[in-house]
Amino acid sequence: MARKLSGLQREVIHLYRSAVRVAHTKPVENQPHFLQFIHAEFSKYRDLPRKDFTTIEHLLRVGNRRLKMYSQPELKDIH
């Protein structure tokens, strides 16, 4: 049976899914750039210990701010 996800784990998954949804609202030719960026950012912290709550909470705050910025319709591409 699968382990139940903690609240922070659910928040991280929610942030990732939201970021992917925003990437799909961008012009089709630029979507791969956004998806590669999202994957790279989440991969950086893949080995972060689950018990490192302060770092995870900080990264969630930063990620939500970035998501808000990147979701603006004026932003067409990311490098």
Can you give the three-state secondary structure of the chain, one letter per residue?
Answer: CCCCCCHHHHHHHHHHHHHHHHHCCCCHHHHHHHHHHHHHHHHHCCCCCCCCHHHHHHHHHHHHHHHHHHCCCCCCCCC
pLDDT at 12 over 90: yes
pLDDT in tens, 52-68: 999 999 999 999 999 99
Q: What is the mean pLDDT of the chain?
A: 92
**pLDDT value for 78:** 79
**pLDDT value for 5:** 83
- Reported pTM: 0.87
Mean pLDDT (whole number) for 28-33: 93
